[in-house]
A and B are shown apart, each in its own frame.
Chain A
């Protein structure tokens, strides 16, 4: 016999082959149940949904919300919440767009599980737009509801975003004192005094 094909070597080789095969084939023989979506609210491909709806997705097995990620079109800032072992809900800070088809790509551990779509209803009132307007008001004119403000020494209005225009009504008080008073008022309303600019109104058409 060839010295390489000695019985001993053959046995060792065979054992090696068996071990190797086992190592390769054993994992292949274990077939995990793939993760799938069992149910959704609203239903997949449904229409006429409310712009306020928080979709719920039920999977076929236990998952952790932190393992799920969502890519959506149009883009939306979804927050993923765990409802129970198999179910998550998707919440959003803004109302959804009216009359819009949302396409959500659901991923589990960065692997695409499913594409889920639904559409919102059309309407004459646009809550999301109104929400955005209010956000702008809050950001640019946070004290608009408190203006115009009149005190004995000055009056104050918004002349531009984050800009308060002050008219001095008491000539005995200096502009710098008035601005200090205005800043104190802004602080009283829970904002940083430097969050606004302060302008003293000038007399009109003065030459």
Chain B
């Protein structure tokens, strides 16, 4: 048997975790043999030898505190020597010579220094990461602005209806492609110069644009008002706001992107893979030890990144939500850990949350890993739960003395309670009155109190379990979790930096975005087709009377559904026959779903499409009147149309896929029920959509070819519809609309959102869903105000300038605010007059207040509401007993032509002492709507308001 080699020693003992792993295994499994090394150099520790080793550690005082501080080489060295001595003694070999041992130790020390360097200065990495995110976001802002400006410029043409949607789309794409490079040549070192250059370069680009010239010729031929459209484009491009927003780092970022403008998505992905590979190489994570935690982290990081890359809503899922870290931390809590410590989902979430968010996490874990008890304040802080806050909350909101609330929660009998309170100086009548108040409050707030108590219970359990899990004998495991946190933070920082700073990556976004051409015109045509209501009515009637049920394929858990549906597809594939193309294809898709190996984007889209279909299936059951359903779909078409601009390739895929599904329909001789075919169409559509989105990676012509194919299929589809007849066409059209809605919804919201968010009937089809279930108020005016903020922000129209209400994004706002009668029209009719120094008119505070209050609420200068009679409202001086939904008024005393005051909507009237929170507009800058939370949110002292308008 050969000696242990140097590399094997380094591999197995090269890190503190390696040593810990060995020691903990030896301690935990004293009856097992333990293998070290491999092949000829393998050493087997028998049970007896293991015991001897442990004894040796103990004799040399190598366990206990020292084992916990292995980063200190002086502690590590004797342990290392001891293990080495022991191992080689077992092999009857001599210890490596001094030089070898020193070399090993030196290598390890270098490694530690590198790790220290990377982990002790996280601020630098975080700053770099934040900078990357900021640059990426700036880039997107500019890019979206250009796209929307071009779309706005072509709007008159779209509206005129004289040009085909395909022609407009082609023009739009070409124009954007021609104008974008101009932005990349701007000198970013001088913002003032950059502004001037932006204007000049865009003017030049417009003047030299062959697309624009061709368009002008066409317009002339069609008798259009060319001058008007040209002026429109020029004005929009040269708008002051555009040039102002394009300075500094924004332009610098664009200039960098330009250098690699032609990069394909595949190259961008390769680049990312290289980044990850080099990170692996540098850190050693994931190498050598196949069972290491690092390996899982790398896999997780890689797959999460690729998922994110494949999603059109990449910026949301990738930049904002940090999926990697959460996912990797979930992996860090292994099934073995969960089983061993019986960790519930809540426990795991708390650990992850603690690791991710709390600033004292590091201290906490450090303390634990050094064998010290956590301080009393650590766990509640880390877990985010404070028992004392419950008493405080109830006392504050019920008006009952905190002492009484505390005592009632202490398990006292009525007699004991009364005795305590009498001793505290309460009279019997006071005690009764206080307890009555408390009982009333608890009764009225049962849900809240219940949930807080449950939180408290969960907290107690979590503390107990985590304390158990963090007990000294489990230190090695905890260290692994903490090690994972450090590794993940480091890896994410490196990967983000590499990824976001890489101009090729951003060029990938750019090229993808170019392909996401607007299909708004196409969907609008469907929406405005006079036959659509009849199609929908016929289709829904047919469906109501017995369509194909696919119950069983949709489970509450997405995994359950995926596997079920995947198996079903495999089965259908087998039915069709293994040799037939459609059969093979179905089997392939099904197997991919079961194995979970389909790309994230594709599987999300499939699930989401089916989910929406499921909703559509339920709709007629709930609402018997087909007219209502038809009206609902029609009203929401606007939202769908807006979304078309986001997920063009997927929609094309859906069309192709749907058409392919119908071919399959004939191939299999009508053996599949129609709804099954529709589902397959959706699935194939999503898949082909994905393939289409990747087409540009293969070759430029592929994109064009698929685009042409899409047009042909569309034409074929139209002919098919006409020939098959009204019934089929109605179902098919409905399905396309629904499937497209689902797919786009899934792409714009991301998988988690589609699975977990509450989507209300009134808002389906819109990209923005205002879920008010988590809000603290049930007041409709307060809810409306919160939703207006959310809608404007999520639809990228906060601040709301006057141009916003004529932009395509306004359709998003309209869809999102559907549940709030009058909100949209009130926003649209806001005076948009200037108070702030800006050249662009914008939403006023009274516009926001009126939109929250609903139809009929007049819009006058804010301070005038004190004397202006508003139907259904009364003005209360000082706003006594302030309530959620009150419209607070400021500046009544100074009211006049020169001072118009301010108005907003009260959300939480009791945010602590004098403070109340609110939603308002225009208080901190032109058109800005502020939310009711956050340090830059809307809050005031009650003493600073003049009064409020309250509903009678």
Do A and B interact?
yes
Binding site for B on A (CB under 8 A): 50-53, 95, 97-100, 121-130, 133, 136-137, 140-141, 144-145, 147-148, 150, 152, 155, 157-161, 165, 167, 169-170, 203-207
How distant is the Cα of A145 from the Cα of B922 in the complex, in angstroms? 19
How distant is the Cα of A125 from the Cα of B836 in the complex, in angstroms? 7
Query: In the complex, are the beta carbons of A159 and B914 less than 8 A apart?
Result: yes
How distant is the Cα of A100 from the Cα of B424 in the complex, in angstroms? 62
Question: A207 to chain B: which residues have CB within 8 Å?
Answer: 425-427, 430
Known contacts A98-B898, A129-B901, A137-B941; is A51 also within 8 Å of B837 by CB? yes
B834 CB to closest chain A CB (Å) equals 5
- Cβ of B902 < 8 Å from any Cβ of A? yes
A178 CB to closest chain B CB (Å) equals 13
Question: B391 to chain A: which residues have CB within 8 Å?
Answer: 169
A154 CB to closest chain B CB (Å) equals 9
Question: B891 to chain A: which residues have CB within 8 Å?
Answer: 126, 129, 133
What residue of chain B has the Cβ atom nearest to residue A49's Cβ? Answer: B837
Report which residue of A130, A159, A206 has the largest number of chain B beta carbons within 10 angstroms of its beta carbon.
A130
Stretch among B395-403, B730-738, B762-770, B774-782 lining the A interface: B395-403
What residue of chain B has the Cβ atom nearest to residue A97's Cβ? Answer: B898
Query: In the complex, are the beta carbons of A133 and B944 less than 8 A apart?
Result: yes
Known contacts A148-B913, A152-B377, A157-B913; is A125 also within 8 Å of B900 by CB? yes
Query: In the complex, are the beta carbons of B944 and A147 less than 8 A apart?
Result: no
Query: In the complex, are the beta carbons of B386 and A100 less than 8 A apart?
Result: no
Question: B433 to chain A: which residues have CB within 8 Å?
Answer: 205
Question: A50 to chain B: which residues have CB within 8 Å?
Answer: 834, 837
B449 CB to closest chain A CB (Å) equals 18
Q: Mark B894-905, 1 if CB is under 8 A from A, else 0.
A: 100111111000
How distant is the Cα of A97 from the Cα of B922 in the complex, in angstroms? 16
B805 CB to closest chain A CB (Å) equals 16
Known contacts A98-B899, A144-B941, A167-B402; is A160 also within 8 Å of B430 by CB? no
A146 CB to closest chain B CB (Å) equals 8
- Cβ of B458 < 8 Å from any Cβ of A? no
How distant is the Cα of A98 from the Cα of B836 in the complex, in angstroms? 10
What residue of chain B has the Cβ atom nearest to residue A144's Cβ? Answer: B915
- Cβ of B835 < 8 Å from any Cβ of A? yes
Point out the residue from B834, B901, B913 that lies within 8 Å of A158, measured CB to CB: B913
Question: A97 to chain B: which residues have CB within 8 Å?
Answer: 898-899
- Cβ of B604 < 8 Å from any Cβ of A? no
A140 CB to closest chain B CB (Å) equals 7
B802 CB to closest chain A CB (Å) equals 13
Query: In the complex, are the beta carbons of A136 and B913 less than 8 A apart?
Result: no
Report which residue of B831, B912, B913 has the largest number of chain A beta carbons within 10 angstroms of its beta carbon.
B913
Query: In the complex, are the beta carbons of B935 and A145 less than 8 A apart?
Result: yes
Query: In the complex, are the beta carbons of B912 and A148 less than 8 A apart?
Result: yes
Question: B434 to chain A: which residues have CB within 8 Å?
Answer: 204-205
5 other A-B residue contacts (CB within 8 Å) besides A204-B399, A207-B425, A207-B426: A141-B915, A144-B941, A148-B913, A203-B403, A204-B401
What residue of chain B has the Cβ atom nearest to residue A165's Cβ? Answer: B913
Q: Would you list 29 pairs from A and B whose C-beta atoms are within 8 A, ordered by A residue?
A: A50-B834, A50-B837, A97-B898, A99-B898, A124-B831, A124-B844, A124-B859, A124-B862, A126-B901, A127-B836, A127-B837, A129-B891, A129-B899, A133-B890, A136-B944, A144-B914, A144-B939, A150-B392, A152-B386, A155-B392, A158-B915, A167-B395, A169-B391, A204-B400, A205-B401, A205-B430, A205-B433, A205-B434, A207-B427
How distant is the Cα of A18 from the Cα of B561 in the complex, in angstroms? 119
B386 CB to closest chain A CB (Å) equals 6
Question: B297 to chain A: which residues have CB within 8 Å?
Answer: none
How distant is the Cα of A152 from the Cα of B379 in the complex, in angstroms? 12
- Cβ of B443 < 8 Å from any Cβ of A? no
B936 CB to closest chain A CB (Å) equals 9
Consensus secondary structure, chain B interface: loop
Question: A155 to chain B: which residues have CB within 8 Å?
Answer: 389, 392
How distant is the Cα of A181 from the Cα of B263 in the complex, in angstroms? 59
Query: In the complex, are the beta carbons of B833 and A123 less than 8 A apart?
Result: yes
Known contacts A137-B944, A165-B913; is A130 also within 8 Å of B898 by CB? no
- Cβ of B283 < 8 Å from any Cβ of A? no
Report which residue of A52, A140, A157, A165 has the largest number of chain B beta carbons within 10 angstroms of its beta carbon.
A157
How distant is the Cα of A144 from the Cα of B430 in the complex, in angstroms? 33
Give the 9 A-B CB pairs with smallest separation, nearest first. A157-B913, A148-B912, A125-B835, A52-B837, A123-B835, A157-B912, A50-B837, A203-B401, A124-B844
A13 CB to closest chain B CB (Å) equals 70
Question: A124 to chain B: which residues have CB within 8 Å?
Answer: 831, 833, 835, 844-846, 859, 861-862, 900
B205 CB to closest chain A CB (Å) equals 32
How distant is the Cα of A123 from the Cα of B392 in the complex, in angstroms? 44
Consensus secondary structure, chain A interface: loop
A93 CB to closest chain B CB (Å) equals 15
Question: A169 to chain B: which residues have CB within 8 Å?
Answer: 388, 391-392, 402
Question: A147 to chain B: which residues have CB within 8 Å?
Answer: 912-913, 915
Query: In the complex, are the beta carbons of A129 and B902 less than 8 A apart?
Result: yes
Known contacts A170-B388, A207-B426; is A126 also within 8 Å of B913 by CB? no
Report the contact-size class of chain B (Cβ under 8 Å from the partner).
35 or more
How distant is the Cα of A35 from the Cα of B426 in the complex, in angstroms? 82
Question: B619 to chain A: which residues have CB within 8 Å?
Answer: none
Q: Which residues in chain B, 247-300, are within 8 Å of chain A measured between CB atoms?
A: none
Query: In the complex, are the beta carbons of A126 and B837 less than 8 A apart?
Result: no
- Cβ of B923 < 8 Å from any Cβ of A? yes
Q: Mark B827-866, 1 if CB is under 8 A from A, else 0.
A: 0000101111100000011100000000000010110000
Question: A127 to chain B: which residues have CB within 8 Å?
Answer: 835-837
Question: B939 to chain A: which residues have CB within 8 Å?
Answer: 144-145
Query: In the complex, are the beta carbons of A98 and B388 less than 8 A apart?
Result: no
Question: B402 to chain A: which residues have CB within 8 Å?
Answer: 167, 169, 203
Question: B915 to chain A: which residues have CB within 8 Å?
Answer: 141, 144, 147-148, 157-158
Question: A148 to chain B: which residues have CB within 8 Å?
Answer: 911-913, 915
Question: A99 to chain B: which residues have CB within 8 Å?
Answer: 897-898
Question: B666 to chain A: which residues have CB within 8 Å?
Answer: none
What residue of chain B has the Cβ atom nearest to residue A168's Cβ? Answer: B402
B503 CB to closest chain A CB (Å) equals 38
- Cβ of B380 < 8 Å from any Cβ of A? yes
Query: In the complex, are the beta carbons of A158 and B941 less than 8 A apart?
Result: yes
Question: B862 to chain A: which residues have CB within 8 Å?
Answer: 124
- Cβ of B943 < 8 Å from any Cβ of A? yes
Question: A123 to chain B: which residues have CB within 8 Å?
Answer: 833-835, 900
Query: In the complex, are the beta carbons of A158 and B392 less than 8 A apart?
Result: no
B758 CB to closest chain A CB (Å) equals 29
- Cβ of B716 < 8 Å from any Cβ of A? no
Question: A140 to chain B: which residues have CB within 8 Å?
Answer: 941, 943-944
Known contacts A98-B900, A150-B386, A152-B388; is A51 also within 8 Å of B835 by CB? yes
Known contacts A147-B912, A148-B911, A152-B388; is A126 also within 8 Å of B900 by CB? yes
Question: A141 to chain B: which residues have CB within 8 Å?
Answer: 914-915, 941
How distant is the Cα of A145 from the Cα of B936 in the complex, in angstroms? 9
Q: Mark B403-441, 1 if CB is under 8 A from A, else 0.
A: 100000000000000000000111100100110000000
B833 CB to closest chain A CB (Å) equals 5
Known contacts A123-B900, A126-B901, A203-B402; is A160 also within 8 Å of B837 by CB? no
Question: B833 to chain A: which residues have CB within 8 Å?
Answer: 122-125
- Cβ of B341 < 8 Å from any Cβ of A? no
Q: Which residues in chain B, 370-391, are within 8 Å of chain A measured between CB atoms?
A: 376-377, 380, 386, 388-389, 391
How distant is the Cα of A152 from the Cα of B935 in the complex, in angstroms? 22
Question: A121 to chain B: which residues have CB within 8 Å?
Answer: 834
Known contacts A147-B915, A158-B914; is A129 also within 8 Å of B392 by CB? no
Known contacts A124-B835, A129-B891; is A100 also within 8 Å of B898 by CB? yes
- Cβ of B940 < 8 Å from any Cβ of A? yes
How distant is the Cα of A100 from the Cα of B941 in the complex, in angstroms? 29
What residue of chain A has the Cβ atom nearest to residue B924's Cβ? Answer: A130
A2 CB to closest chain B CB (Å) equals 79
B254 CB to closest chain A CB (Å) equals 30
What residue of chain A has the Cβ atom nearest to residue B386's Cβ? Answer: A150
What residue of chain B has the Cβ atom nearest to residue A205's Cβ? Answer: B430
